Each structure stands twice: as C-alpha cells, then as structure tokens.
Structure 1
C-alpha cells in the first residue's frame, strides 16, 4: 500500500474518519484495523504506531462523538427542548454519531471502555443540568428520550417525527412534575 505524504494532522483526521465509519457499523469487537487502514489509505502498522491499539482508537472515536453532542448542546438555547432539537439535528446530519455512541455502550463489557464511556455519560448528564438548570429526574428523562431518538435514527424508523413529538411530550411532563 502506497501512502501519500500528508501532514500528520490531516493523516490523523483521515484515520479517525475511517475509524468512525468502520466502528459505527461493526463496533469494537467486529472492526478490524486492516479495514480502517484500507479505508484511510494507510498501512495497518502505521495506525498502530499512531494510536497504540484498536481500543485506544475506538475510544478516540467515541470521545469525538460525545464531544460533538456536547458542542451541539453548548450551541443551543439553554432549555431541554432546544438541546433535544439540537441533538436530533446532529443525528440527522451525522448518522454515525449515534451509532458510535451506541457501540460505545455495547462495548462496555470491556473494563477500559466501560470506564471511559461511563465518564462521558456522566459528563453529559452534568452538562445537561448545567446548561438547563434541570433537576436529576428531568436530566434522566431527557437522556431516556434521547436514547429513543438515537435508536430511531440508527434504525431509520419511518415514524421518527412521531418520536420527536413523543419526546417533547415526555419532557413537558417531566417539567410539569417538577413545578408541583
């Protein structure tokens, strides 16, 4: 395999994009570094040299997905509804984000992955509360409805608009319960 000389940052971004595409489909256990290398147009040993291991590369991809979710939240109005809309928009624009997050949860049998994904999950809960002022129950409700949105997007369900309306209804209920 002939590798074109590219700046390190460009090469790294290309590998991460290739890894995201592969991990989104086949997860940590099912993805071969050779498949990522072929997609990125780089040698398998070069990936190992740059990232150390398949698990480390996987975690970089998972962290990048969580980073994009947090960035979408940071850019939204500070309400649960606006954060939800920003998340759905992200899932619609970048389908692999939801798939990679689901793959991160699916790989939680691995101790290192579980600890890293747990930290990111808890960080997301904290960010939602910080940005919106929501209480613990509202944040958990928001995350649960977000999971429905993630699964709906991953499965490309035809009634996804109904799920969006349902999510808004559930969030309204959680907010109404908080006011009593």
Structure 2
C-alpha cells in the first residue's frame, strides 16, 4: 500500500474540511470574491477535487449558506422559546461562530443571483416560520425580531463601540414585541 493511500481521508472527512474552509472564504469574500483555488489551498486539495465534490462555486456557497441557517435554527431549538430567548441564543452564536453572521450578510448580498436568491428566500421563510412556531409570535413580531437581529449582527460584526447599548436596545425591543403570553 502506498504512503498516499494510507493517509487518504474518507470523503466525508474531506468534505467537512472543505466546507469549513469554504465557510471562512465565503464569509470573508462572498460568492463573487471567493476563489475555489483559495479554498482548495486551505485544505490541501486540488481545485478540480472541489468541483468534483460540489459541482460549482455556487453550489458550494449554497451549502455554506444552508449550514449557517442550520446553525441558527439549531441555536433556537436549544434556547428558551421566547423572542428574547431566541435573540440571546443568536447573540451567543454570533459571538461564538463569527462566520455565521458574515455568511448571512454575504447570502443577502449574493441575492442578485436568482438561484441564490431562491435558496436564501426559502431558508429565510423557513426561519421566520420556526420563530413563529417556537414563540407564538405573529408576523409583525417576527419582523421586529429580524430587524433587531440585523442591528445586532451589524453591531457585533463591526465591533461598534455601542454594541452593549445595541444588545440592551435589542432586549427592550424584543420584550415590547413579545407575544402577550411571554409578557406575564
């Protein structure tokens, strides 16, 4: 058995490494600016290997975007099922996994691409439904949640000096918007 065959990684492990590298590359550079060659170099594979595994840069980008949405949904599932509880879970996720917020913003920026726009729209609607289902929030309360989340995302990613004030404002806004059941 050759040395290369002994150190060859299982496809699932290699796929996970590529997705992690792609997460960092797309978070930093977006769909248009990211290069498959840079992702390949981060992992130590060839550009054609990434194309073989994922099909295209857009397909890889969408997998990264779906993974970011999955991480958000996962943090919500484990949180207290109130708007404030979900907001706090999202705040912690932004702090712990810096690329999540960047990938989300990059997914919105790439929405000029129709395929990306459709995929992100579907995930956004699914996330809105999850928030409503988990908290009992109506459409306006969910919109308030997303507006507050956008302020928190920008404040956190830009490390604005008033970040703590933005967090306090976000909690205040979510409490105002909370379903009547949560205010008892």
For residues 98-136 of structure 1, give each alpha carbon's deviation from its aligned partner in whole angstroms, at most 9, with x where no partner exists. 000100000000000000000000011000000000111
Counterparts of 1:83-162 in structure 2, within 5 Å, are 83-162=86-165
Name structure 1 gaps, 5 residues minimum: none
Task: Answer with 1 or 2: which has the greater Rg.
Answer: 2
Deviating 4+ runs (over 4 angstroms): 176-179
Task: Figure out how many residues of one structure are paired with residues of the other and give that number.
Answer: 178
TM-score between the two structures when normalised by the length of structure 2: 0.92
Name structure 2 gaps, 5 residues minimum: none
Q: Match of 1:157, SS?
A: coil
| Structure 1 pair 52–21 and aligned structure 2 pair: CA distance change class (3 A) | same
Question: What do you get for the CA RMSD once the two structures are aligned?
Answer: 1.8
Q: State the 1:158 CA deviation.
A: 2.5
Q: State the 1:177 CA deviation.
A: 8.7
How far, CA to CA, are the matches of 1:84 and 1:174 in structure 2? 12
TM-score between the two structures when normalised by the length of structure 1: 0.94
For residues 71-108 of structure 1, give each alpha carbon's deviation from its aligned partner in whole angstroms, at most 9, with x where no partner exists. 00000011000000000000000000000010000000
Q: State the 1:154 CA deviation.
A: 1.5
Q: Match of 2:161, SS?
A: coil
User: Are 2:81 and 1:59 equivalent residues in the alignment?
Assistant: no
